Structure 1
Amino acid sequence: MKLSARNQLPGKVKKIDIGVINAEVVIALDSGGEITSVITKKAVENLGLTVGKKVYAVVKSTEVMVAID
């Protein structure tokens, strides 16, 4: 698989909460920490996502904000 997105974060599926239409997928990143994605229930099925499966969190954004306290 090749993607133009630069932010490809490898990890494993930690948890999947499936709703009626959408699903919340928690990914434990290889580098530490977690990231959560909300995708369709159909996408979970099409990708064959299961807890423990190796995946990539791909972040594509036109804007990243920076904040301070």
Structure 2
Amino acid sequence: MEVSARNALKGNVKALVIGAVNAEVTVEVAPGIEIVAVITKSSAERLGLAEGKEVYAVVKASDVMIATD
């Protein structure tokens, strides 16, 4: 598979919470560094996601915003 996004981070599914419509996927990309994504339940099922599975967290965004208090 090839993707145009430059930010594809390889990791392992650390946690998977399946809801009625969506799934919350926590991917550990390095020791102590996690990325959380919310995807559809059907996508999680189609990808065969499970804890420990090796995946890529692909980040594609046109904006990154920074905020302070």
TM-score of the alignment, normalized to the shorter chain, above 0.5: yes
Q: Choose 59-68 or 16-25, whichever is displaced more.
A: 59-68
Residue type at the aligned position of 1:44: A
2:60 alignment partner in structure 1? 60
Residue segments in structure 2 that go unaligned for 5+ positions in a row: none
Q: Distance in 2 between matches of 1:28 and 1:68?
A: 26
- Which range is displaced more, 27-36 or 52-61? 27-36
- TM (norm. structure 2) is 0.90
Bigger shift: residues 30-39 or 45-54? 30-39
**Match for residue 26 of structure 1?**
26
Partner SS state of residue 63, structure 2: coil
What is the CA RMSD across the aligned residues, in angstroms?
Answer: 1.5
Alignment of 1:1-69 (within 5 A): 1-30=1-30, 32-67=32-67
Letter in 2 for 1:55: V
Aligned length, in residue pairs: 69
Instruction: For structure 1, list consecutive stretches of 5 or more residues without a partner in the other structure.
Output: none
The 4+ residue runs of structure 1 with deviation greater than 3 A are: 66-69
State the identity as a percent: 55
- Give the alignment's TM-score, normalised by structure 1: 0.90
Q: Distance in 1 between matches of 2:28 and 2:55?
A: 10
